[in-house]
Amino acid sequence: MIATKLRRRKATLFAVIAGVLFLTFILLVFAWIQSSKGDAKQTVLEFYRYEQEGDFANSWELFHSAMKDKFNKADYIQDRAHVFMNHFGVETFTFEIEDSEKIKSWTMTETSLPMQNVYRFEVIQTYKGKYGHFDLHQNVFTAKENGKWRILWDYHR
């Protein structure tokens, strides 16, 4: 009788410990997933803060190598400042990062190789300039490259 009670207590204790360990594992996995999304979003925030300041050299540095292949640094700095600041007649802009989603496999163009575990963020830039007030909506993608989140844009036609 005492041995039976002792076995039941051990079984109950084992079940409680196993349950706690399982829940801890689930919470750690969830935290890791949220952390990854948060790190990806931080890269988008950093990119657009540089853009706000007109620091296009540093924003270019946050591009994925596939994006750097599309623009050399000097051309990007010149074009970005010319188009967004000079043509729009603004000194800066505000921005919001709206909804996001994780994409298991994504390509930048129809012919590029698929990238795994990409995040999509909708960025809304608000400009107030000589041509009035307008918002620019753009889907911005992030993918890890050499352990760091990097910025990509969609070039599907």
- In single-letter form, the type of residue at position 4 comes to T
**Domain map of the chain by residue range?**
2-153
How would you list the strands of the sheet with 115-129, edge to edge?
Answer: 94-106, 115-129, 132-145, 148-153
Q: How far is CA 40 from CA 6, 19, 102, 126, in A?
A: 51, 32, 10, 22
Alpha-helical regions (H) of 53-125: 56-61, 65-68, 73-80
- Identify the sign of the CA torsion 68, 72, 76, 79: negative
pLDDT at residue 31 is higher than 50 = no
pLDDT tens for each residue of 68-123? 999 999 999 999 888 877 887 888 899 999 989 999 999 999 999 999 999 999 99
Average pLDDT over residues 32-61: 86
Total count of residues recorded for the chain: 157
In this prediction, residue 129 carries a pLDDT of: 84
- Max Cα distance, the chain (Å): 89
pLDDT at residue 34 is higher than 50 = no
Q: What confidence category does residue 64 fall into, taking pLDDT thresholds of 50, 70 and 90?
A: very high
Whether domain 2-153 has CATH 3.10.450.100: the reply is yes
